A and B are shown apart, each in its own frame.
Chain A
Amino acid sequence: MPSPHMSKMSEVDEEQLKLIFICCHPALNKQAQIALSLKVIGGLSTEKIASAFLTSEATMAQRLVLAKQKIKKAGIAFKLPATDDLASRVDIILSSIYFIHNESYVATNSNCLTRVNLADEAVNLCRNVCHFMPNNAEAKGLLALMLLQLARIEARVDVNSDFVPLELQDRNLWVSSKIFEGKQLSTKL
């Protein structure tokens, strides 16, 4: 049964929300949660997800297949979590989204300090959660955090792909719309 802190939603919206919860079910490991979220909610192709995480398409495809098999074998149902479980399940979703955001924000194996596509995907996933759970403060907080960090992404890295500290960043490269939205969200919390 939907809890008081979820607004009345259309059937289509509820189906989407169920999908989000399934993709981030605690029975799936983090890698599987992230791959499924990006594929099923984000609508990214397997190829794109693979390149974003610097793995082969075959590896990513296998990961997705195993995740779907697990959902079936373990009997993970297409439904919203019980009211008692809602908070902890939302936590899992947000931590997966934040993981995706961090993957883009900090250099891992790439030469370039940022991988912008994943950052946008994390924001979109979070927007989804905020849309379906408009009274959830944690989701709003995460969206604000990510937007404020993303606003400075162009200024973080110079022409040599070296890191530029905050004090020295060119304010003209900050995306003011993101800063505005981020601030708006955080003041509403």
Chain B
Amino acid sequence: MQYMLLIYSDESSRALFGTEASNLAYGDFTRSLIKSGHMIAGEALQDSHTAVTVSVRKDKIRVVQGAFAKTKEQLGGYYLIEAENMKEAQSIAAKIPTATIGRVEIRPIMLFKN
């Protein structure tokens, strides 16, 4: 089954991202995920202040500065993984470096390929 692991953390603590230590930790984690065959995809996202939020109402496109959620913890990245079940997905999520300072949401993917 496919799961999305959504990595949330306080962006001020995210200044850690891109540091030597963080890169090493994530590098190790990603490599182990590939090795174990769980890895499908993963990306880090730029900070929430680089985001815009788009909506269309009455055919008019509205572009607003900022991320969707105005929460202290913001989405910083994700992994898409293949796992046996939710329990296995959770144990993988717990190994994500940011899990120790932030939170990881685990959500099953909807599968409806046409």
State the A residues within 8 Å of B (CB): 26-29, 66, 70, 73-74, 84-85, 88
Contact = CB atoms under 8 A, between A and B. Distances in A.
Contact of B63 (A27, A73, A84): A27
A27 B46 contact: no
Most-contacted residue by chain A among B52, B61, B66 (CB, 10 A): B52
Contact of B65 (A29, A66, A85, A88): A29
Contacts of B50: 27, 70, 73-74
Nearest to B54: A26
Interface residues of B, number: 12
10 contacts: A26-B52, A26-B63, A26-B64, A27-B52, A27-B65, A29-B65, A29-B66, A70-B50, A74-B50, A74-B51
Contacts of B58: none
Interface of B: 46-47, 49-52, 60-61, 63-66
Most-contacted residue by chain A among B47, B50, B52, B61 (CB, 10 A): B50
A73 B46 contact: yes
B66 A85 contact: no
Contacts of B52: 26-27, 74
Contacts of A73: 46-47, 50
B63 A74 contact: no
Contacts of A29: 65-66
Given A27-B65, A73-B47, A74-B50, 12 more contacts: A26-B52, A26-B64, A26-B65, A27-B50, A27-B63, A28-B65, A66-B49, A70-B49, A73-B50, A84-B61, A85-B61, A88-B60
